[in-house]
Structure 1
Amino acid sequence: MPHRATHRSRIVTELLMDIGNSRIKWARAHEGQIVGGARAASHDSLEHVFSEWRALAAPPDRVRLVNVSDASVAGQLSDWMTSHWAIRPETVHTPAMGGGVRVAYARPAALGTDRWLAMVGAKAAGYAPACVVDCGTAITVDVVAADGTHQGGLIVAGLAAQQEGLAQLAPALPRVEWSTRAPFLTADTEDALISGYLHGTALAIQGIVRRCMKNDAARLTPVLTGGDAPLLARYLDMDVCLRPDLVLEGLAQLP
């Protein structure tokens, strides 16, 4: 029998980045899906990021990023990729309509691109109508309807921001480490702070989500994302869908 040659199309890979206020998250993607999970590093650990990128079997074909921090971190990352991969990353900005989501803001560019992408990710995953809670340096809440119409949202201080603010106004109080098991009422100042941050923030999230549910005729799915989402989910007295990498999932959905 004559030999029939087979040709496999080359897999086109992307590297996606979410540059937040305090951390960088990145992941590889192929055909709209995250591959191998996301990685995270603080802004002062860029050499660790570069070391991991050097270890990749091959550079990506395309790089896209969302940046809600200052331009310096994105600039350092971009310079490294240009130098080592000859790739200039594409920065994504919030449109009035994109990824199946229609932004409620009169000036769409004023809505953090990470918030828009989290809604894109939630809708693509089949959660809409949804109440999307992004638990980062700031905790953002956005409601998106089944048809992708953004209903609006709100912003409160995240765990790290709460501690930084209290440290400035009450420097005598100790700094604390977050705990996966914290009692509600305590007899110790450090434990009382931990309880206040964790239980207080969780109760705030619950109250906001339930208020959104009460005000919306549709049955909303609560979706938690962001770096502190797995920790805060432990303290919630309600069922939520936990998707820590939802911003990257939304970024992967864009053409």
Structure 2
Amino acid sequence: MNLLIDLGNTALKWATSDEPESPHTLVHGGSHHFSEKLLQALQGQSFEHVYGCSVASRDLTLSVSRLVESLGVKITWLKAQQRYQGEFVLRNSYKTPTQLGSDRWHAAIGAVSFLPQQPLLVVHVGTATTVDCVFPEDGEMVFAGGRIAPGVVLMRDSLVTGTATLPKADGEYADFPTDTMTGIVTGIVDSQLGLIERGMRVMQQHHFEPTLVLAGGAVARFAPYLMKEFPDSIVKHNLVLRGLALRSKGAVL
């Protein structure tokens, strides 16, 4: 059995390769102070190998590597590939494939495993919001590329730090906002929806009708708004861990 680690900008998730959809989570916010909790959680367990995906800082990634190796287990940080080949094939259209974020690549693998041979718009709402286009071509799946923008919290915090008087908004969406906090929340939600709508429109212009697959830490807050616009959307948590699990099970790494 292998251990899988998804190290993001604000949280770390880990699960076994047998149960990638039942993870444990530690919020770190960029700090190393969570290491002791992770060590306590992993001690006494036996793993053949550890496979990880990281978009966190180099220092934080090294810290996790040292912690895992202190348990006598090797860790391999997997990057995006030019081509994934397992139960299906997924081609990476990036000019330099390894420049694609490892989390986006493994999320795409995870999404395709749920919905093979279907055009997909894979949306991850977290520290950043990513909208990735995946579609079938010549019997294979293609990661065609995607859009990246600040996530919900980054958008909100940028208004707080970049202006003198705007508050740190926390409110509800409104069709016609009549106060500043509601206006900020509505503007942020509409910005996120607009990014997704544009990704959907581009796919349709290329004659695809994609299924929208939604994941990420901000899903619980954002999904109700998205479902109004795209009622056929599917929420799938832990796509990155699912992708890591597939790569760890005999696929070409």
Give the structure-2-normalised TM-score.
Answer: 0.83
Q: Deviations over 1:137-156 (max 9, x none)?
A: 11111111132112221112
Residue 9 of structure 1 corresponds to which residue in structure 2?
A: none
**Structure 1 residues 132 and 187, CA gap change in structure 2 (3 angstroms):** same
2:3 to 2, 8, 15: 15
Question: Is structure 2 residue 182 aligned with structure 1 residue 191?
Answer: yes
Distance in 2, matches of 1:72 and 1:240, equals: 37
1:88 to 64, 68, 74: 74
Aligned residue for 1:106, secondary structure, equals coil
Residue 240 of structure 1 corresponds to which residue in structure 2?
A: 233
Residue 55 of structure 2 corresponds to which residue in structure 1?
A: 68
Question: Is structure 2 residue 250 aligned with structure 1 residue 250?
Answer: no
Distance in 2, matches of 1:235 and 1:216, equals: 26
Distance in 2, matches of 1:35 and 1:137, equals: 21
Distance in 2, matches of 1:25 and 1:73, equals: 14
Contact 1:230 1:244 in 2 (8 A): no
Deviates more, 1:206-215 or 1:45-54: 45-54
Alpha-carbon distance, 1:52 to partner: 5.0
Distance in 2, matches of 1:188 and 1:35, equals: 40
Contact 1:202 1:235 in 2 (8 A): no
Please tell me the residue identity of whatever aligns with 2:61.
Answer: A
Contact 2:30 2:60 in 1 (8 A): no
**Structure 1 residues 103 and 91, CA gap change in structure 2 (3 angstroms):** same
Residue 148 of structure 1 corresponds to which residue in structure 2?
A: 141
Contact 1:209 1:222 in 2 (8 A): no
1:226 to 200, 208, 216: 216
Please tell me the residue identity of whatever aligns with 2:153.
Answer: A
Aligned residue for 2:225, secondary structure, equals coil
Deviates more, 1:63-72 or 1:120-129: 120-129
1:207 to 147, 172, 197: 197
Alpha-carbon distance, 1:37 to partner: 3.3
Distance in 2, matches of 1:165 and 1:20, equals: 20
Distance in 1, matches of 2:180 and 2:218, equals: 23
Alpha-carbon distance, 1:241 to partner: 0.9
Aligned residue for 1:36, secondary structure, equals coil
Aligned residue for 2:198, secondary structure, equals helix
List alignment gaps of at least 5 residues for structure 2: none
1:133 to 123, 147, 156: 123
Structure with the greater alpha carbon radius of gyration:
1
Distance in 2, matches of 1:106 and 1:144, equals: 16
Distance in 2, matches of 1:185 and 1:28, equals: 47
% same residue: 27
User: C-alpha root-mean-square deviation of aligned residues, in Å?
Assistant: 2.2
Moved over 4 A (4+): 44-49
Please tell me the residue identity of whatever aligns with 1:92.
Answer: L
Please tell me the residue identity of whatever aligns with 2:25.
Answer: R
Distance in 2, matches of 1:169 and 1:45, equals: 24
**Structure 1 residues 168 and 45, CA gap change in structure 2 (3 angstroms):** closer
Residue 5 of structure 1 corresponds to which residue in structure 2?
A: none
Residue 3 of structure 1 corresponds to which residue in structure 2?
A: none
List alignment gaps of at least 5 residues for structure 1: 1-11
Residue 39 of structure 1 corresponds to which residue in structure 2?
A: 25
Please tell me the residue identity of whatever aligns with 1:113.
Answer: S
Distance in 2, matches of 1:130 and 1:50, equals: 39
Alpha-carbon distance, 1:133 to partner: 0.9
Give the structure-1-normalised TM-score.
Answer: 0.83
Aligned residue for 1:34, secondary structure, equals coil
Contact 1:202 1:233 in 2 (8 A): no
How many residue pairs were aligned? 237
Distance in 2, matches of 1:49 and 1:36, equals: 20
